[in-house]
Amino acid sequence: MIDPPTGELHRFADEELMPLVAGGSTAAFEVVYDRHGAAAFSLAFRMVGNRAAAEDIVQEAFLSVWRARTRYEARRGSVRSWVLGIVHHRGIDALRRGLVHERRRAGAEAAEEQRENRNLTEVEAIRRAEAATVRAALDTLPRDQSRVLELAYFAGFTHSQIAEMLDMPIGTVKGRMRLGLDKMRRELGETA
């Protein structure tokens, strides 16, 4: 495939660039990266709060974009939504990896702490029990509901940001959040 000159590629719409990217055009891919790299970094940074981790997430995400370049379908959403969706998934993966690492480290620290002092304070014991209860209640929700709650309450995104990331109407986001919170209230009310 012969690429048009890079200067011309900048005049192409995203949807015109993607067939070139799918055909293996690195110049077209660079234009896509130039257009959406800053938004991707911003999203990743807001999710993880760490510049180096956000850069890693963006790098992984654009590598995924390149590998999945033939799977982009314009009818399912804009290139920006597709790219940010991939960044979002990579960010969630990074947060989960970090959470697993933190839990392992916390588990090791807790084991060491218990060797030093077997008496947990009552407040700490209550806090851990409450956290486990909330995690268990969140795990009972359907994935579409838990996902919007995680994005809103753990990652700090607004309804409109979540709607854009997930490429869905804001009313759907609010509805899933309301249903999820109602189910959490019932679940937590039953366990209390």
CATH number at residue 131: 1.10.10.10
The pLDDT mean for the chain works out to 82
Same domain (yes/no): 183, 145? yes
pLDDT recorded at residue 101:
58
pLDDT, average across residues 160-172: 87
pLDDT recorded at residue 10:
87
pLDDT recorded at residue 6:
62
Same domain (yes/no): 34, 127? no
Residues shown for the chain: 192
pLDDT recorded at residue 120:
57
Q: Which domain holds residue 20?
A: 1-119
What is the rounded distance in angstroms from the CA atom of residue 24 to the CA atom of residue 27? 9
Same domain (yes/no): 112, 168? no
pLDDT (tens digit per residue) in 6-59? 678 889 999 999 999 999 999 999 999 999 999 999 999 888 888 888 999 999
By percentage, how much of the chain surpasses pLDDT 90? Answer: 37
Same domain (yes/no): 126, 108? no
pLDDT recorded at residue 8:
86
Residue (of 71, 73, 44) closest to 59 by Cα position:
44
What is the rounded distance in angstroms from the CA atom of residue 3 to the CA atom of residue 85? 27
pLDDT, average across residues 96-108: 63
The last residue of one of the domains, among 119, 143, 165, is 119
What is the rounded distance in angstroms from the CA atom of residue 90 to the CA atom of residue 72? 17
Say whether 84 sits in a helix, a strand or coil: helix
Over 70: is that where the pLDDT of 107 sits?
Answer: no
User: How many CB atoms sit inside 10 A of residue 74's CB?
Assistant: 14
Please state the domain count of the chain. 2
pLDDT recorded at residue 109:
60
Same domain (yes/no): 128, 114? no
